[in-house]
Structure 1
Amino acid sequence: MFGSVSFDAMSSALDALSLRQRTIADNIANIQTPGYQARRVQFEDALSRAVSRGSGDVDATIGISVEPTREDGNNVNLDTETVSNIDTVLRYQLAERAIDGKFKALRTAIGNA
C-alpha cells in the first residue's frame, strides 16, 4: 500500500500543492514589490508522465510567470493568485481525502484481522 503508485502520486501531489500554496502566498506578499516576478509551481505534467511509467515520485519545479508586467516591473495579479489559490486548496483537499481513504481501508483491514 505505502509503496504503491497511487499512494506515491498522492503524496507527491500533496507536497507540490503545499509548495504551490506557499508560492502563492509569497506572490501576494510581494504584490507591491517593484520588479518582483510572480512564481508558478508546476508538477502535474511530470506527475502524469511518472504515473504512466509506473512511478508516483516527482518533484515540483518553480518557474517565473510570463504574464505581462506593470510599469514597476511587477507582474503579480491578485485575481490570478486568488483563483489559483482556490484551485490549489480544492486539489489539496481531494488528494488529502484520497490518502485518508487508503488509511481508512488499512485501519479496517487491521481491525478485521
Structure 2
Amino acid sequence: MAGDTLFGVHGAALEVRSQRMGVLASNIANASTPGFKARDVDFKSALASLEGGQDGIDAATKYRVPMQTSMDGNTVELSSEQTAFAENAVQYQTTLSFLNGRISQITRALKGD
C-alpha cells in the first residue's frame, strides 16, 4: 500500500500525474486527427486504485465528453486540453518538489546533520 512507503501517497500521486500528462499530451497531439476521442485520467480514482495495490490507471482513464462536437468526430477541445495539461504540470512539479524536500531531509538525517 502506497501510504506505508517512505514517501507516503506522494510517490503514487507522482505516478498518476505522470500518466495523466501522457494522456493529455496525446489528446493535444491528436487535436486535428479525424475521429480521435479525447481521454482523461480520473486522478482520485487512479490514486485510490494504486493505494489499494492495483494498477488502476487504465481503469481510471475515461473518454472526455466534449462541450461542442466536431464535424469529423474528433472530441479534443484544444484550449481545455492545454489548460488541463498546464494544471497537471504544476501539480506534478509541486509533488516532485515535496518529494525532493523529503529526500533532502532523509539524507541530512542519515548524515547526522
TM-score bucket (shorter structure): 0.7 to 0.9
- Unpaired segments of 5 or more residues in structure 1? none
Q: Is the 8 A contact 2:16 2:43 kept in 1?
A: yes
- Unpaired segments of 5 or more residues in structure 2? none
Structure 2 residue 105 is the aligned partner of structure 1 residue 102: no
Question: Which residue number corresponds to residue 4 of structure 1?
Answer: 4
Q: Which consecutive aligned stretches of 4+ in structure 1 deviate over 3 angstroms post-superposition?
A: 2-6, 55-59
Question: Which residue number corresponds to residue 66 of structure 1?
Answer: 65
| SS, match of residue 61 in structure 2 | strand
| SS, match of residue 35 in structure 2 | coil
How high is the TM-score relative to the length of structure 1?
0.80
1:8 Cα offset (Å) = 3.7
Give the 5 Å matches for 1:38-49: 38-45=38-45, 47=47
1:43 Cα offset (Å) = 2.2
Matching residue's letter, 1:86 = A
How high is the TM-score relative to the length of structure 2?
0.80
Decide whether aligned partners of structure 1 residues 56 and 7 sit closer, same or farther in structure 2, where only a CA change above 3 A counts: farther
